[in-house]
Amino acid sequence: MDDLKLLGGLRADAPEPSADRLDALRTRAMRRRRVRLAPPLLLVAAATGVAVVVVGGIGMPVPDLPTTARPVVTGGIRPMNAEVVLRRAARVAERGAPVPAPRDDQWVYWKLLVQNGDDPAPIAEEYWTRFDGTAQSFRRAQGGMEHLAIEPEPGDDQLTPREFAAEFAELPTDPARLLDHVKNDPVWKADGEHEDARAFRVFSVFLYQEVPLPPKLRGAIFRALAEIPGVRVDAGVRDAAGRTGIGVAFEGDVPGSGVRRDLYRQVTSRSYLIFDETTSAFLGRRVDQLRDERIHTIDVPAGTRFVSAVIADGVVDEPGRIPG
């Protein structure tokens, strides 16, 4: 008698989840949290195999995507002089108001619009994160509130809002020293990653989370971005709220850049941080798939995009409340 085989028969009729259940679970499992390494998530219609609805460039629908590789029309986007634009953004940022210092029991509110893969329209996501990082509440579209207790784990890739604020208070505000710091800080290191890619990634994480950056540091980040080889700046990049701004992307052509290129060395997708041209405020992110690409079993056609917009933030006393 094989006891393992007999045990294998116990509850052997347990099913795998349905596609619908899995879809709902995927959304839940990929909630944005303050993660050091995680980029915005582009969810393609993987499980269902449903064709991805694509919008090319700036709000122009592309009818019937051809199967042949074809670069996406990115109309309205104008390449800019990165140094000039980023220096100007730095000067505006440095004149900003001081950031608030929340109490441990207060909640940092963050509202995003997210349009992902095949979403027909942007979906609102609201996050209330307790400043000490021990709890988070979440609401998606018109859905109910979800609450999550977070147990702090040493060595996590995740930072609490309080830890972010503490890190921001300590970071050098001299651009060269700041750049040096983020390139070499062991907590941000990932194997095989070029230091330029790391610096851009770390700044992206700093900018795309709910704890506001002190004005001097924001200025230093813009100045440091201008020093990273391969950083490009485009005007006319649209966020999920329909606002256009300055798009900043890293496309360094070095080993370990993380920038994916096709056989002809063409960049296959472009990932922007978007800023308001006048106020230099962070608006959101945009990832455009420029060329057809296969990732694992998933075909990601050119024109697939992830777009988000930060449309509200602030500090409140209870989850569910809105600043204001």
Q: Which residues are at the interface with another protein (CB under 8 A)? A: 1, 3-17, 21-22, 24-26, 28-31, 33, 35-44, 46-47, 153, 155-158, 190-193, 197, 201, 258, 260, 271, 287, 294-298, 300, 306
Shortest distance (Å) from residue 271 CB to another protein: 7
Alpha carbons 273 and 308: distance in angstroms, whole number: 10
Shortest distance (Å) from residue 157 CB to another protein: 5
Question: Which of 30, 101 has the CB closer to another protein?
Answer: 30
Cα-based distances in Å from 249 to 99, 103, 211: 26, 34, 22
Can you give the C-alpha Rg of the chain in angstroms? 21
Question: Which of 43, 240 has the CB closer to another protein?
Answer: 43
* DSSP letter assigned to residue 35: B
Shortest distance (Å) from residue 250 CB to another protein: 10
Shortest distance (Å) from residue 141 CB to another protein: 18
Question: Which of 219, 258 has the CB closer to another protein?
Answer: 258
Shortest distance (Å) from residue 114 CB to another protein: 12
Chain centre distance of CA 313: 16
Shortest distance (Å) from residue 122 CB to another protein: 16
Chain centre distance of CA 228: 19
Shortest distance (Å) from residue 256 CB to another protein: 10
Alpha carbons 49 and 68: distance in angstroms, whole number: 18
Question: Which of 17, 100 has the CB closer to another protein?
Answer: 17
Question: Which of 172, 256 has the CB closer to another protein?
Answer: 256
Q: How many CB atoms lie within 10 A of CB 77?
A: 19
Question: Which of 10, 121 has the CB closer to another protein?
Answer: 10
User: Helices (DSSP H) in 194-255: which residue ranges?
Assistant: 195-207, 215-227
Backbone angles phi, psi at 195, to 5 degrees: -65, -30
Shortest distance (Å) from residue 189 CB to another protein: 8
Shortest distance (Å) from residue 93 CB to another protein: 25
Q: Are 231 and 212 spatial neighbours (Cβ–Cβ below 8 Å)?
A: no
Cα-based distances in Å from 87 to 213, 247, 288: 17, 14, 25
Question: Which of 92, 127 has the CB closer to another protein?
Answer: 127
Q: Are 305 and 55 spatial neighbours (Cβ–Cβ below 8 Å)?
A: yes
Alpha carbons 287 and 269: distance in angstroms, whole number: 7
Q: Are 282 and 273 spatial neighbours (Cβ–Cβ below 8 Å)?
A: yes
Chain centre distance of CA 39: 4
- Axis crossing angle, helix 82-94 with helix 215-227, rounded to the nearest 10: 170
Question: Which of 80, 267 has the CB closer to another protein?
Answer: 267
Question: Which of 176, 187 has the CB closer to another protein?
Answer: 187
Q: Are 288 and 298 spatial neighbours (Cβ–Cβ below 8 Å)?
A: no
